[in-house]
Amino acid sequence: MYSTTAVIEQRQDAPPGDLAIWFFILAELLVFAVLFVVYAVARRNNIELFDLHQQQLDRSSGLANTLVLITSSYFVMRAVAAIRDGRAHLCSRWLWGAFALGFLFLLIKGAEYQHHFAAGITLRSNDFYLFYLSLTFFHFMHVVMGMVILAAVAFKAQHGGYSATDYTGVETGASYWHMVDLVWLILFPLVYVMH
């Protein structure tokens, strides 16, 4: 088996988790980056429209969701620390906690959407809503995807699928969740706050 030093050295060389997931995380970030840039350009060409409708967004919901996601990322970090210590059940519990917070995010965002749709707002209402709904819904779906991944990893951890020497899957899932969080941390100020 590997010596501890060899394991630590290996970890310092490569990013944590499966290499494949990093390729996809980069691709994901690229899509969001492009959308953000296009949003910025569209906003510059239409500042009044964008500022006007931005006021109609519920900033407290946005802030609450930001706190929810940051906390969930903290939970995920605790989960990785737990499995590193070989504590699979603790790891699983932290992951389910993050999952629950993810679900809370979906509820809060869902309530916002409910409010918009009730007011007759759609993708086609105007350019601001086109971007706001596209960006947030695309992110929303990534939260759903992230939750699926967290659940899968949590299940596997619960059933002894990971150990202190073999937990790549946990790191992979954690990386994906952190990406989802990171995107929101850019999205929230960009779309909800900056004017």
Partner 1 sequence: MKYQSQLVAKPYFIAAIGLFIGQIIFGLIMGLQYVVGDFLFPEIPFNVARMVHTNLLIVWLLFGFMGASYYMVPEESETELHSPKLALALFWIFLVAGALTIVGYLAVPYATLAEMTGNDLLPTMGREFLEQPTITKIGIVVVALGFLYNVGMTVLKGRKTSISLVLMTGLVGLAVLFLFSFYNPTNLVLDKMFWWYVVHLWVEGVWELILGAILAFVLIKTTGVDREVIEKWLYVIIAMTLITGIIGTGHHYYWIGTPEYWQLLGSVFSALEPIPFFMMTVFAFNMVNKRRRDHPNRAAVLWALGTAVMAFLGAGVWGFLHTLSPVNYYTHGSQITAAHGHMAFYGAYVMIVLTMISYTMPLMRGRAAANSNRSQVVEMWSFWLMTVSMVFITLFLTGAGILQVYLQRYSDAPQAFMVVQEKIELFYWMREYAGLVFLTGLLLYVVSFFIGGKEPAQQNA
Partner 2 sequence: MSGTFTKSMARNIFIGGSAFFVFLFLALSLDTVRALPDRDNRQNITEQVALGKKVWEDNNCIGCHTLMGEGAYFAPELGNVYDRYGKSTVAIKAFISSRPVEGIPGRRSMPQFNLSEKELDAVAEFLKWTSEIDDSNWPPNIQG
Q: What is the dihedral of CA 88, 93, 98, 99, to 10 degrees?
A: 100
Question: According to CB under 8 A, which one of 130, 151, 152, 186 is a site residue for partner 1?
Answer: 130
Residue 71 C-beta: closest distance to partner 1, Å: 29
Those residues with Cβ within 8 angstroms of residue 89's Cβ, 6 or more apart along the chain or in another chain: 157, 158
Distance CA 113, CA 128 (A): 15
Ordered alpha helix ranges (H), the chain? 4-13, 19-44, 47-54, 59-84, 88-118, 127-158, 168-187
Distance CA 195, CA 181 (A): 22
Distance CA 63, CA 75 (A): 18
Site string for partner 1, 21-50 (x = CB under 8 A): --xx--x--xx--xx--x------------
Those residues with Cβ within 8 angstroms of residue 18's Cβ, 6 or more apart along the chain or in another chain: 168, 169, 172
Q: Which residues lie near partner 2 (CB under 8 A)? A: 2, 7, 10-11, 13-21, 24, 122-124, 138, 141, 145, 148, 165-166, 168, 171-172
What number of chain residues touch partner 1 (CB under 8 A)?
A: 14
> In 3-state terms, what secondary structure has residue 166?
strand
Q: Which is nearer to partner 2, 8 or 111 (CB)?
A: 8
Q: Which does 44 bind (CB under 5 to 8 A by kind): partner 2, partner 1, none?
A: none
Q: Which is nearer to partner 1, 64 or 190 (CB)?
A: 190
What phi, psi does 63 have (nearest 5°)? -65, -45
Residue 87 C-beta: closest distance to partner 1, Å: 31
Contact (Cβ atoms closer than 8 angstroms) between residue 54 and residue 195: yes
Residue 24 C-beta: closest distance to partner 2, Å: 6
Residue 172 C-beta: closest distance to partner 2, Å: 7
Q: Which does 38 bind (CB under 5 to 8 A by kind): partner 1, partner 2, none?
A: partner 1
Q: Which does 14 bind (CB under 5 to 8 A by kind): partner 2, partner 1, none?
A: partner 2
Site for partner 1 in 138-177 (CB under 8 A): none
Q: Which does 18 bind (CB under 5 to 8 A by kind): partner 1, partner 2, none?
A: partner 2
